[in-house]
Structure 1
Amino acid sequence: MERKTKFETLVSSAGKKAKNLLDNAVQVVDMNEDGKFDFTDVSVIAESMGSTVKKSTLIMKENAEERANLLELKALRPIFPESLDCADFIMPKFIRVIERDKKHTESDVCQGSIGYESDLKGLHIVNVFRDSYEAFGLIFYPDYDCEFYYVDPSERNKYIALDEYFSYLKIARVNELKKIAQDLGAKHFKVTYKEEQISFSEKKIKSHIKLTSAGNVGLDHDLSQKKYTTIDVVADMSFPGHAAIKPQLKYLQRDPSIQTLISMRMDENAPLLHEKFILKMSNSLGMKETDAVKIDAVLNALKCSGNATVASEAKNELRRYFEYDIEF
């Protein structure tokens, strides 16, 4: 009888606990606050859970789209007008002007872009869309209808078509020599263009010079002399002459021979009357041979190589000179 009583007590106690748990559960899930848990509450819960799932799904979708857009921006690297004002954006020396391509045209993240950046064969390149070239605020010589351009060494916002680069700089430097002569008050000057002949060997002769009673000392004398395949007078002019005015230099501003010429001519105590010297054209080229090699690699990769290489032309500049003969 005692066992039954204990058992009944345990059951009764367990029932109370279960009832309390059930009452609490009803309070938690009683969504419509009618004091009981029924199908109406289930409906409210389902609707609430559905709304949460929808919001979570929407957030996940937005995050996925954002990640996709970031990946697309990283891959296509578009340039926008506002990009030009960023501190970390720098126009490289070598740029390309092209038609707007399909990938950038159809991409949502590239809408409003004016070009894009790329890296190829060790060169950072800015690709300018031809229909947006004006947005860059650059000067293109002879126009913007060419594809590849290299920066003018004297004007950072001016780009010269690659096919015109070397010939353009030759004419520009001759014109500057003319202006220098005129500003310094020259009565006559002549500029002669010379291109050194390629040499594959040098003739040397060993001579013996008697120095002292100690005997003869053998010395190697390089008897090779510069020979030129091209000698062309590119400027020959006369002026009445006048007092010297200091020239404003662009392409030849770092040439020591020109700087010395101007300094001596501007000296009022002992003004220069005549000078003749050689100017090495490679000193004012503005393109390093290493960059020329990289440009050739880019042109080859894009299958745009012509009948000459940029590197070979840059090397040829090492053999080109201006002979400057000026009288005051």
Structure 2
Amino acid sequence: MEKKFGKLVSNVGKNAKNILEKSKNKAVQIADQNDDGKFDLEDVTAMANSVGNIVKKGARTLKETADEKARQMERKTLLPIVLEDLNDYPMPKLIRITERDKKYSESEVCKGSIGFWSDFKEVRLMNIFRDSVNVYGISFYPNYDSEFYYVNPVDSDNYIVLDEYFDYLKQVRVGELQKIAQDLGAKHFRVTYKEEKTAFSERRTNKKVGIKSVGDVSAEQKSEENKYSKIEIAAEMECSGHAPVKPTVKYMKYDPNVQKLIEMRMDEQGPLRRQTLTIKLSNSSGLKESEAAKIDAILKGLKCTGNSTVVNEVRNESRRYLEYEIDF
């Protein structure tokens, strides 16, 4: 029994010795960088170089990671627009044309950019670089020398300078009414522009319904005139008249009164002789008060506020009318 135990202990000692020897050889193999079977100064130098390469590689990786994070942060801050983005984002209704400043011209992440986004709370503004206007495929009225533009309500590829938006739409609608009169074969037509006065309080009285005297009619006419702060003839013409031709309508396309006028004139069973229409301009302006409030928020954020607001102009538009008189 003692001999077996001694032999077992002896075997354990040999195994341990073999393991240690193998470990030593393995360590030498690992440390032996020049494969000469021993660990010497040359191997130390090789290991130092190897470790140095690893450290350099790690440092380079860290630098590349840091550089990429910096680029991502810069891109997130500057929000550049590139040509490919136009396929992913529909053109917004409001746009701004601006010069390309130094931070966009020198930034690597903005290379090839044609504009940038600006965020104002929940509203995002598209800023177009003036030197890249042509790549957007849109046109401007009267030109692109101004800063802010709003989309034409009947042409999504045309933008109207914001300061002239309502005046321009008034002009083109008067022109369209003139063309409608000519196509329908009118002998005379007149377009009168009227703007209601602002009323902060108004007392309404109930009048008895009955036969009006000449004095009553005159007083009512005077009262009607007093409702308006501005009345002017926008267009008037005498024509020779002819058989009606159905007109092409853009700005007044969805005005029920204008559509009814065309329908009645084109009806051969009961030809129309005379018609007077009152057209409310806000019905076809394309700019609602909720959108105007967003524009004002952007202008305020850019410190570009003038002597009025877009919301005020929308409210003014709701008090403007075109009176359309047409004779056949």
TM range (shorter): 0.7 to 0.9
Partner of residue 241, structure 1 = 241
Secondary structure of the residue aligned to 1:201 is coil
**Superposition pairs of residues 1-328 of structure 1, within 5 angstroms:** 14-86=16-88, 89-120=89-120, 122-205=122-205, 227-328=227-328
Answer yes or no: is the 8 Å Cα contact 1:196–1:227 preserved in 2.
yes
User: Cα distance, 1:56 vs. partner?
Assistant: 2.4
Q: Distance in 1 between matches of 2:294 and 2:228?
A: 29
Question: Cα gap change, 1:249/1:103 in structure 2, threshold over 3 Å: closer, same or farther?
Answer: same
- Among the aligned pairs, what percent are the same residue? 51
What amino acid is aligned across from residue 70 of structure 2 in structure 1?
A
Residue by residue, what CA displacement relative to the aligned partner does 1:236-288 show, whole Å, maximum 9, x if unpaired?
Answer: 11222222222222211111111111122222322322211100000011111
Q: Distance in 1 between matches of 2:192 and 2:19?
A: 112
Q: Which runs of 5+ in 2 are unaligned?
A: 1-6, 210-222
Identify which range, 241-250 or 29-38, moves more after superposition: 29-38
Identify which range, 200-209 or 249-258, moves more after superposition: 200-209
Q: Distance in 2 between matches of 1:197 and 1:296?
A: 24
User: Cα distance, 1:121 vs. partner?
Assistant: 5.2
Question: Cα gap change, 1:21/1:46 in structure 2, threshold over 3 Å: closer, same or farther?
Answer: same
What amino acid is aligned across from residue 183 of structure 1 in structure 2?
D
What TM-score comes out, normalization by structure 1 length? 0.86
Secondary structure of the residue aligned to 1:109 is coil
Q: CA RMSD in A?
A: 2.7
Secondary structure of the residue aligned to 2:159 is strand
Q: Distance in 2 between matches of 1:17 and 1:132?
A: 75
Answer yes or no: is the 8 Å Cα contact 1:279–1:322 preserved in 2.
yes
Instruction: Name the count of aligned residue pairs.
Output: 310
> Going by fraction, where is strand more abundant, 1 or 2?
1
Identify which range, 8-17 or 176-185, moves more after superposition: 8-17
Q: Distance in 1 between matches of 2:192 and 2:295?
A: 30
Answer yes or no: is the 8 Å Cα contact 1:203–1:224 preserved in 2.
no
Identify which range, 140-149 or 300-309, moves more after superposition: 300-309
Secondary structure of the residue aligned to 2:60 is helix
Q: Distance in 2 between matches of 1:294 and 1:302?
A: 13
Q: Distance in 2 between matches of 1:13 and 1:133?
A: 83
User: Cα distance, 1:8 vs. partner?
Assistant: 9.3
